[in-house]
Amino acid sequence: MKYSSLILSSLLAITSIEAASLPVINVTGNAFFNSETGERFYIRGVDYQPGGSSELEDPLADYDVCSRDIPIFKDLGLNTIRVYSVDNSQDHSECMNLLAENDIYLILDVNTPDASISRSDPGCSYNADYLQNIFATMDEFSNYTNTLGYFAGNEVINDEGTLFTAPYVKAVVRDMKKYQSARNQRSIPVGYSAADVASLRLELAEYLNCGNDSEARIDMLGVNDYSWCGDSSFTVSGYKEKVELYADFNIPIFLSEFGCNEVVSSRPFTEIKSIYSTSMSGVFSGGLVYEYSEEGSNYGLVNISSDGTTITKLQDYYNLQSEYNSTSDPSGDGGYSTSYTYSDCPTDWNFTITVPDTPSDAETYFKNGAGEGTGFDADTEQACDDDAYYISTTGVSSTTKTKTSSKSSASSASSALSSGSSASSSYVASSTTSASSSSSAGGAALTSYGLTSLFAMIAAGFFM
């Protein structure tokens, strides 16, 4: 009987590690909604990547890290975090379940510094190895009900000269949505996080939202916007102009980075009252503050001690907490709309807007799955132009932002960029585990049929 007892105790342990569950957040028209209550969902979040781009780590693969920070998220009043890069060779079940237990959702960028779309050579960097990494990440995170959405890219297009990379962003969006369908995964929204470049705001958003191929259209749009500085206003900041600009879009739009630090030593976050007001709720669905931890650029809400054990809340933290506590979401549906049509594709770009075909070597992943992820070791741009630069992890489109790093082979390009007019982050790929290993995302991958069969075998004395 010792074998049956051992197996029975193991099975009981497995079944007791049930995944914490949150209601799925769905897209209806240009807004997010709670699938169980039917209530409008507004993102109240923070950008979360301790260590930044210089000391890249996966905060969702280290329970000591996420269990240290999640109570602080809860205290701050957050319901969403954005993570810019994960190690898809690691397990994320403990942290994802802890987030769910605290009613917190995840928006995940599916890229790593060395597995991304190159601004200078997108055709080379868009390859089968790159897609394998993305798909492996999706295999891991698709099983969590608190995975709210994916970003297929972050500020890949950061000026007029990089606009020609946009068709490759659409290709990644298409491939991610196709993979979800082919692998019978939950249809998690796939979007893009855009740099706030005045000359490109509208045309890029329209391009990403245009065309007859529904798979190649984004499901949501994040805007990295630092225009509200200090104690500004809805009109002076330019927020009013952007509400009008995006008024005809039929997808959810939100601020994927906000929190200008140009004016005062501590940010008052007075924009919160506008973001969560009916002045914006007809178009915008909340936002994510940049950023959780101080990384030397004065954008942090907290300081993390060098040994990682102590969190010191900064004045920005208390200012933001006060604003959140005193600002409620708009009542009812917030004036959302379902009446909008898709955008027209541009006709005057001096390069092809045709979305490139999926690399032929990647077609097998739709049928057989992606397999295991290779984490931060993935380097899918090795064969590309040595002079290409790849901007990694967190980024701010503000001209004063200097916290951007690149892969080592392009440090000079990154230095020039970070001291120039736009410090952006472009990374469009990464991944996580295979479909089989991602089953740990529920705490247990065993189906009810499998558990029933095993218990029946024990009862019949099969293991005696």
Mean pLDDT score, 28-36? 97
The answer to whether residue 25 scores a pLDDT higher than 50 is yes
The pLDDT value recorded for residue 6 is: 40
Is-contact 156 169, C-beta < 8 A? yes
Is-contact 207 166, C-beta < 8 A? yes
The answer to whether residue 441 scores a pLDDT higher than 90 is no
- Which conformational region is residue 111 in: left (phi greater than 0), alpha (psi within -120 to 50 degrees), or beta? beta
CB neighbours of residue 315 within 10 Å? 13
The answer to whether residue 449 scores a pLDDT higher than 80 is no
Is-contact 431 88, C-beta < 8 A? yes
Tokens coding 458: 């024990």
Contacts 24+ apart (CB under 8 A), 231-236: 231/263, 231/268, 231/270, 232/270, 232/271, 233/274, 234/274, 234/279, 234/280
Mean pLDDT score, 280-296? 96
Tokens coding 385: 């132009």
The pLDDT value recorded for residue 18 is: 52
CB neighbours of residue 167 within 10 Å? 20
The pLDDT value recorded for residue 385 is: 55
- The mean-pLDDT minimum among 324-333, 378-387, 444-453 falls in 444-453
Mean pLDDT score, 399-423? 28
- The mean-pLDDT minimum among 22-31, 69-78, 170-179, 389-398 falls in 389-398
The answer to whether residue 422 scores a pLDDT higher than 90 is no
The end-to-end CA distance of the chain, in Å, is: 5
- The mean-pLDDT minimum among 170-179, 373-382, 385-394, 428-437 falls in 428-437
The answer to whether residue 324 scores a pLDDT higher than 60 is yes
Q: Where are the beta strands (DSSP E) in 29-92?
A: 31-34, 40-41, 43-47, 80-83
- Please tell me which residue, 130 or 20, carries the higher pLDDT value: 130
The pLDDT value recorded for residue 98 is: 98
The pLDDT value recorded for residue 386 is: 44
The pLDDT value recorded for residue 56 is: 86
The pLDDT value recorded for residue 372 is: 93
Is-contact 89 375, C-beta < 8 A? yes
Q: Considering the chain, what is the average pLDDT of its residues?
A: 82
Supply angle C-alpha 79, 137, 411, rounded to 5.
95
Taking each continuous run of H as one helix and of E as one strand, the counts in the chain are 13, 15
The answer to whether residue 190 scores a pLDDT higher than 70 is yes
CB neighbours of residue 389 within 10 Å? 20
- Please tell me which residue, 121 or 440, carries the higher pLDDT value: 121
The pLDDT value recorded for residue 4 is: 40
Q: Which domains does the chain have, with CATH numbers?
A: 18-442 (3.20.20.80)
Is-contact 194 155, C-beta < 8 A? yes
Is-contact 376 87, C-beta < 8 A? yes
Percent of the chain having pLDDT more than 90? 72
Mean pLDDT score, 238-250? 96
The pLDDT value recorded for residue 19 is: 63
The answer to whether residue 121 scores a pLDDT higher than 80 is yes
Assign 431 to helix, strand or coil: coil
The pLDDT value recorded for residue 401 is: 33
Query: What are the Cα distances from residue 21, in Å, to 100, 141, 385?
Result: 6, 13, 44
Q: How confident is residue 436, by pLDDT bands cut at 50, 70 and 90?
A: very low
Mean pLDDT score, 145-166? 97
The pLDDT value recorded for residue 202 is: 95
Choose among 408, 431, 418, 386: nearest CA to 112: 431
Tokens coding 325: 């506590």
Residues marked active site are found at 155, 257
- The mean-pLDDT minimum among 97-111, 303-317, 384-398 falls in 384-398
Is-contact 88 437, C-beta < 8 A? no
CA distance 396 to 52: 12
Q: How confident is residue 55, by pLDDT bands cut at 50, 70 and 90?
A: confident
CA distance 369 to 234: 47
- Please tell me which residue, 265 or 174, carries the higher pLDDT value: 174
Q: How confident is residue 450, by pLDDT bands cut at 50, 70 and 90?
A: very low
The pLDDT value recorded for residue 251 is: 97
pLDDT tens per residue, range 372-402? 999 999 888 876 754 433 333 334 333 333 3
